Chains A and B, each alone.
Chain A
Amino acid sequence: DAGVTQSPTHLIKTRGQQVTLRCSPISGHKSVSWYQQVLGQGPQFIFQYYEKEERGRGNFPDRFSARQFPNYSSELNVNALLLGDSALYLCASSRDRDRGREAFFGQGTRLTVV
């Protein structure tokens, strides 16, 4: 079975631009979460979506938004990019919304803002 897939793998954007990152969860998984990982740190929670609804949001500005589609895939959008948005963006899928189910991560999208 395919794991969590993310696209693109690498991206370079200019300050002020907008970016859309994509994620396809493991088959049968209904929950998708997004994390930002800055170099040298652990991942930071951005959003969780379950059954196409936002179920959790981390401490990120409104420039960050996301959605989940009927097939459970998800997009993360970031508007008005700042240099500080440069990071590895990780998508994780899990079978359920909570109850401590394991989260499996994709390989990430490396975003560089110049």
Chain B
Amino acid sequence: GQQLNQSPQSMFIQEGEDVSMNCTSSSIFNTWLWYKQDPGEGPVLLIALYKAGELTSNGRLTAQFGITRKDSFLNISASIPSDVGIYFCAGQRGTGKLIFGQGTTLQVKP
């Protein structure tokens, strides 16, 4: 099935470091969403972006909707051990269907 290009695939960082991940597509999206998924759980919504160029923060998380509407990035500042998990981007074009990236696995070393 169709998926977005999400990178990096995995990251292993030291506690306190900043993290950046991004998502690209060959097609335009009207909405970008970022989710975090813990093992055995469903994805939890972190940030929703609705307009090209939009920059939105949620605590230590910041995400931006690319001006071309074909990409988005997520930054996590001052990482902590509970940031461990899999982060997914998802794009939406105006129907309810979400198209997901392959996920970025984040591991944080205390």
Contacts and interface: CB of A to CB of B under 8 A. Distances in A.
Contacts, number: 79
Contacts of A45: 1, 97-99
Nearest to A41: B102
B42 A55 contact: no
Contacts of B3: 41-42
Interface string B27-49: 00011010100001111110010
Interface residue tally of chain A, by bracket?
Answer: 20 to 34
B100 interface: yes
Interface in A34-62: 35, 41-45, 48, 50, 55-56, 58-59
B103 A50 contact: no
Interface in B71-110: 88, 90, 92, 94-103
Interface in B9-43: 30-31, 33, 35, 40-43
Contact of B33 (A41, A48, A58, A102): A102
A10 B50 CA distance: 35
A33 B14 CA distance: 37
Given A100-B50, A105-B42, A48 B88 contact: no
Interface of A: 4, 6, 31, 33, 35, 41-45, 48, 50, 55-56, 58-59, 90, 92, 94, 97-100, 102-108, 110
Leading 8 A-B pairs by shortest Cβ distance: A42-B100, A100-B31, A105-B42, A48-B96, A44-B1, A45-B97, A108-B42, A107-B42
Interface of B: 1, 3-4, 6, 30-31, 33, 35, 40-45, 48, 50, 88, 90, 92, 94-103
